[in-house]
Amino acid sequence: MNQKWSTNKLVLTAMLAAVSGVLMSLEFSMPMMPPFYKIDFSDVPTVIALFTMGPGSAISVEVIKIIIKLITVGTNSMYVGELANLLGIILFIVPVWLIYKKKGQTTKAACVALAIDVPIRIAFSCFLNACITLPLYAKAMGMPLDEVVQAVAFVNPMITDLTTFIVMATIPFNLVKITLNFVVGYWLYERLKSTSVLRGLKVNAERVS
């Protein structure tokens, strides 16, 4: 029985990773946002994997999806966007899972986990953009950091420096993307969890401590 569910978990993780890799390539821009800030729903399979099979499967989905995208599409941000995505989603997976388990693994627990984790992840994203990804992006493009900020100012005239970039771009972008992916992912999970395969995997995930 354990071997059977282990095999099912491996197969389902791979399937969700493949779907996630495709969704990561289907990205679109938000109005008034820098061109390298794009919305996609590639975290939806990760959310399903998290609540069905636990954090190990969810992180595996993220790693595999990024590899798939790099192989099939490549990068348009000198790998900076992919690095930021991976770091951000790990920060999402671990706290949400810990809070969800502590609160009883209910829909209310999922909402509480999201409410607590979103500010944490947004704060981390602000730090990541200001101190790591934007400087790396500027270096990869061979441009000073101030010029990178100025280059995106035409998209949003209110962006004039690094501070306004964080306030007007980083915070609203992450708020929209995180919320959309979580809500859609959890909604799909709720509708799929009664299936025989997911029900068995869910039982195993609940035993993860």
Q: In the chain, where are the structural domains located?
A: 2-26+38-206
28 phi/psi in degrees, rounded to 5: -145, 155
pLDDT value for 186:
92
Please report which confidence band the pLDDT of residue 144 belongs to, taking 50, 70 and 90 as the band edges: confident
Q: What are the structure tokens assigned to 178, written together?
A: 């995180």
In this model, does residue 206 exceed pLDDT 70?
Answer: no
Q: Give the contacts of 35 (CB within 8 A, at least 6 positions apart).
A: 29, 152, 155
* Among candidate residues 70, 36, 32, 25, the one with its CA nearest the CA of residue 143: 36
Q: What is the pLDDT of residues 83-98, one digit of tens each?
A: 777 777 788 888 899 9
pLDDT tens-digit readout, 99-123: 998 988 888 999 999 898 889 888 8
Lowest mean pLDDT among 22-36, 74-88, 127-141, 145-159: 74-88
pTM, two decimal places: 0.80
Q: What would the pLDDT profile of 58-79 be if each residue is shown by its tens digit? A: 999 988 888 887 887 777 666 7
CATH number for the domain formed by residue range(s) 2-26+38-206: 1.10.1760.20
For residue 23, what are the contacts with CB-CB under 8 A and spacing of at least 6?
40, 41, 42, 44, 45, 65
Provide the percentage of residues in the chain whose pLDDT is more than 70.
86
